Amino acid sequence: MSDETESAGLDFIRQRVADDLASGKHRSVVTRFPPEPNGYLHIGHSKAICLNFGLAREHGGQCRLRMDDTDPSKESYEYVDAIKRDIEWLGFEWDDVFFASDYFEKLYAHAVALIKKGLAYVDSLDEAAVREYRGTITEPGKPSPYRDRSVEENLDLFARMRAGEFSDGEHVLRAKIDLAAANMKMRDPPIYRIRHATHYRQGDAWCVYPLYDFTHCLSDAFEGVTHSLCTLEFQDNRELYDWVLDHTDEPCRPRQTEFARLSLEYTVMSKRKLLQLVEDGHVDGWDDPRMPTISGLRRRGLTPDSIRRFCDRIGVAKHNSEVELALLEHTVREDLNERCPRVMGVLRPLKVVIENHSGAAENLDAAYWPHDIDKEGSRQVPFSRELYIERDDFAESPPKKWHRLAPGAEVRLRYAYVVKCTDVIKDDAGEVVELHCTYDPETLDAAPADGRKIKGTIHWVSAKESVECEVRLYDRLFSVARPGADGVDFLEQLNPSSLEVVKNARVEPSLLSTKPGDRWQLERTGFFYVDPDSKPGAPIFNRTVALRDSWSKLTAKKAASAAAKPKSPGSSQKAAPKPRQVLGDEAKDLVARHGIGEDEARLISEEAVLKTLFDSALPATSNVTGLAALLVNDVRRELKKEAKLPFGGSKLAELLNLVEDGTISGRTAKDVFAEMARSGERPKKIVESRGLAQLGDAAELESVVARVVLESADLVSRYRAGNRNLLGALVGQVMKATGGRANPRAVNEMLRQKLG
């Protein structure tokens, strides 16, 4: 499909559906969402939900909800109910719920039919031998000794497998396809296995279960699915999907199309890892507000609208990329700012006594909505002799440009008067416990009559009338953007500050009757959601998101601190960083729409060549952050040497996509870019002509890893004894054995699994 088609407003999947309807290939659209009921749905699933249900809704079609429940060891009704609840909460509905387990008899019959056609056989090799016989990417597989069993013997063995005569793993039913196929998935893949386990719906009726690639395509066909949408990891499965449909007697022929899955910073999407977090007690259940599960996001306070808006914003692409968490947070702030009334709350109260106040509470008008929101509403807040302010809004020895309260300083109380601190009361330990102030009664909604300037405004609550509450301050679950990368145990990268529980916080009395599910903005603090654990008169507030990106500010502070450290003798001295420049409207739009960094957005918006390349590359890649980095670093560097570049945006997108789909490493991409800048050749052609592609076949890589493990017995023994630093040495051995063509991350993961 051309860039022009995509730029017309349709992503490649919607364009394909539109073409199928226009050509008469399909008269209606039927999609499906087929989760496995072995865990709770997470935000990655929300993208698939929005796409499948949304696509059907756009064309007046149907989206099937199907539980892909063919693994009895992990599935339960708890997960089925949670899946249905999450989809409904996101705003989608289905006509009926389908279960792959309801098709077991039909699937079994299709497997028997394949045996009768000579297209399937019972193999008695164990799992390790099956992998060995499958061959490598450069060597064809070799036939199993059991591949030529007669049809009669295969039918007998398969029936006995179903009857429960054999133990788990003793036999497997394999499709008989092509042992020399370039696609390893086609080298006689297993389609049925023995598993003696009680199924949550079928009980003990079955002890043989169909595998995913056999079940998935036939279930689609049974349900009349027209467009089977999968994430990119199933791209190689498509050939097997089509083979099964070609050789079974089903009139419906769904078409599988792959799209990029949603990968998000500072979290994990693996159900296995999420389950481990729950079972090991690192979080408080699947709905812990720190979890990326939809139920966790719901309890944190995100709205269905914000998640749907986020999925729409990141779009549908052909290549995997990682989305910055800041983009999700920006989308959530944008949504909550439009729907949350503003109130005042004090998280860490410091008592203030207004000495010249009469003591009688005075009700002041306060607006619920900011001026830039087209909504009206107000409430009254009591102003009395004793108040609470935020402890952080007072400094006994204030720094320069401090515009909050300090001894002898004045500040305005939000919606109220100007107050001046006259005395500081401390306890025996020297801690400030109370402030004495005076107020100017002529400054309600007015500047001081004598013209003095009041630069600061702080929030407050009445001490007597305010409501005591608990506040839970949630932050990112992990302290690094890519947990588990480079062979590190992801549990070691949990953020110890991901939850702070603040007791004895105070909110204004208008929140006394708030109930679970309500959302509020606490002024100057953040957006909050009333947790289901709340009791009448004792609310619990979960912070959904702060008003600003405090994480990036903390990172900048650390970087500035590191830069300020004295250099060692002889080291080069760098110039002090320039002050941050104000972003223009175009740069702000780039940040808001694509989530790229402010500095990158400013350069791209200000330099015409970069902006042209950005706009032309954008429709062809989903890696927007990578595109921005490539432009402001490599491309700008090249422009300093050559006024005219021998490539355009499409080639930059192609280069990024080669990295994203794992064809080449990031380091190799540097070399490819250098050659592309020299010759103008397409990145893909450079990679092919120079043999730069990474080793992409999992089976071949697994074979190399197994060989290295066997040949490095001493390193392996020391690693298992606790010397985890040796993992790098083992990775190096594998990289050497593959001539540097293996993906280091894949090697890391495979070695960690192999070594336990």
- Burial label, 398 (beta-carbon count in 10 A; 0-12, 13-18, 19+): middle
DSSP H helical ranges for 176-255: 212-222, 238-246
Q: Are strands 460-462 and 386-390 parallel, antiparallel or unpaired?
A: antiparallel
Q: Classify residue 199 by its DSSP letter.
A: B
Distance, in Å, from the CA atom of 147 to the CA atom of 124, rounded to the nearest integer, reads 9
Residues 244 and 258: their CA atoms lie apart, in Å, by: 18
Secondary structure element (H or E) that encloses residue 446, with its range? none
In contact, 143 and 132? CB cutoff 8 Å: no
**Over the Cα atoms of the chain, what is R_g?**
31
Instruction: Provide the residue type at 536 as one letter.
Output: P
Residue 98 is given by DSSP the state: E
**Measured distance CA(667)–CA(670) in Å, rounded:** 5
Of 734, 685, 755, 746, residue with least CA distance to 233:
746
Distance in angstroms (rounded) separating the CA atoms of residues 472 and 541: 6
- Between CA 66 and CA 722 the distance in angstroms is 44
- Which residues pair with residue 420 across a beta bridge? 410, 438
Measured distance CA(525)–CA(543) in Å, rounded:
9
Cβ contact 274:268 at 8 Å = yes
What are the catalytic residues?
A: 36, 261, 271
Round to whole Å and give the CA distance between 692 and 45: 34
In terms of phi and psi (left: phi > 0; alpha: psi -120 to 50; beta: otherwise), the region of 184 is alpha
Return d(Cα 213, Cα 230) in angstroms, integer. Answer: 12
Longest Cα–Cα distance in the chain: 105
Query: Do 237 and 84 touch, CB atoms closer than 8 A?
Result: no
User: Token pair 């893949």 is at which residue?
Assistant: 189
Sheet with 97-99, side-by-side order of all strands: 30-33, 62-67, 97-99
Return the SS3 of 304.
helix
Of 466, 467, 463, the residue nearest 386 (C-alpha): 463
Q: Which among 104, 78, 76, 109 has a CA at the least distance from the CA of 199?
A: 76
Cα gap 679→114, rounded to integer Å:
52
What does the CA dihedral 148, 153, 154, 160 come to, rounded to 10 degrees? Answer: -150
CA 453 to chain centre: 47
User: Would you say 677 and 647 are in contact if contact means Cβ atoms under 8 Å apart?
Assistant: yes
Task: For residue 359, report the phi and psi dihedrals to the nearest 5 degrees.
Answer: 110, -25
